[in-house]
Amino acid sequence: MKFFEETLYNGQGGRLGHGYFQRYQIQQVLFEEKTEHQHLIIFENQHFGRVLALDGIVQTTEADESAYHEMLVHVPLFALDHPQNILIIGGGDGGALREALRHPVETVTMVEIDPRVIDLCKEYMPSLSGGAFDHPRANLIIADGIQFVAETDQRFDAIIVDSTDPIGPGEVLFTEAFYASCKKCLTPGGVLITQNGVPFFQSEELKSSQQKLSPLFKDAGCYLTVVPSYVGGFMALGWATDNQDLRSVAAETLQSRFEDLGLKAQYYTPAIHTAAFALPAFITKQSS
């Protein structure tokens, strides 16, 4: 019997020293490779279905990806009034791209550094992207995300950073320079969303990001989702904008936008959207 033992990081690039680990029983390894940028494995698990892990960290599973991708995308896009141009940094599995394209936006630009992640997820986990890579409103760019935001003259209503933990190729996506470049690329009142780990185990990841975002944006904080395969309970998604009204859009407005779109979601609801900004005390302390 084979198992995949997940490497848990503390948000500062080191392994957790909590005497805790998580492992998945592997029914079948579908693909494994050391790409130019990272170690990649896709395997099957009885409960989670197909699982993608990069550098020893589970990124997504077929069974619970909606809890991550829907909250990563729909919270900012329903909060905004008629967003048109969206930027996704990372997200090679295609789940965030799929969800963004469900909104009536003009374009969704996705910048991914590792084309092998895209190719292999399209082949072995096609339900995640659902054909999004071939959508006429999708603009896929294979490039370094930090270089793209530093050099582009395009402006976006929302920037969604669907990154790995701050190790390997994802490390540069947690720097103050990157966040400053993202702000430059936002339209007035636009919003930046980041992956900020599981605060119960990775408190330093959230704290460090908030310390870097707070000087740049009038409203920097986080909201929460729960993804069963991301061990440790609540997962924090960073939230940064100069429009302080965005986090408190009226429930009636969210419901109307949700109904107008006719969205069939597995996790997201307007009520969950509102509740996601209510933080447990221990996370409030970490994010302040």
Whether domain 2-61 has CATH 3.40.718.10: no
Helix 176-185, helix 203-213: angle, nearest 10 = 50
Both tokens assigned to 17: 């020293």
Please state which CATH number belongs to domain 65-287. Answer: 3.40.50.150
Range list for CATH 3.40.50.150 in the chain: 65-287
Give the whole-number percent of the chain exceeding pLDDT 90: 74
* CA-wise closest residue to 229 among 71, 62, 96, 94: 62
* Residue 153 appears among annotated catalytic residues: no
Q: Which DSSP letter does residue 9 get? A: B
pLDDT at residue 59 is higher than 70: yes
Q: What is the pLDDT of residues 150-170, one digit of tens each?
A: 999 999 999 999 986 654 444
Q: Mean pLDDT throughout 10-24? A: 65
Q: What is the pLDDT of residues 244-276, one digit of tens each?
A: 999 999 999 999 999 999 999 999 999 999 999
**Greater pLDDT, 205 or 154:** 154
Q: Could you give the CA distance from residue 46 to residue 169 in angstroms, rounded to a whole number?
A: 30
Q: What is the pLDDT of residues 71-88, one digit of tens each?
A: 999 999 999 999 999 999
Helix then strand count (H, E) for the chain reads 10, 13
Q: What is the pLDDT of residues 115-151, one digit of tens each?
A: 999 999 999 999 999 999 999 999 999 999 989 999 9
Q: Could you give the CA distance from residue 117 to residue 140 in angstroms, rounded to a whole number?
A: 13
pLDDT of residue 85: 98
pLDDT of residue 232: 82
Please give the order of strands across the beta sheet that includes 28-34: 28-34, 39-45, 49-54, 57-61
The model's pTM:
0.93
Q: Check 162, 165, 219, 260 and give the catalytic one.
A: 162
Strand ranges in 177-218 using DSSP code E only, listed in sequence order: 186-195
Range list for CATH 2.30.140.10 in the chain: 2-61
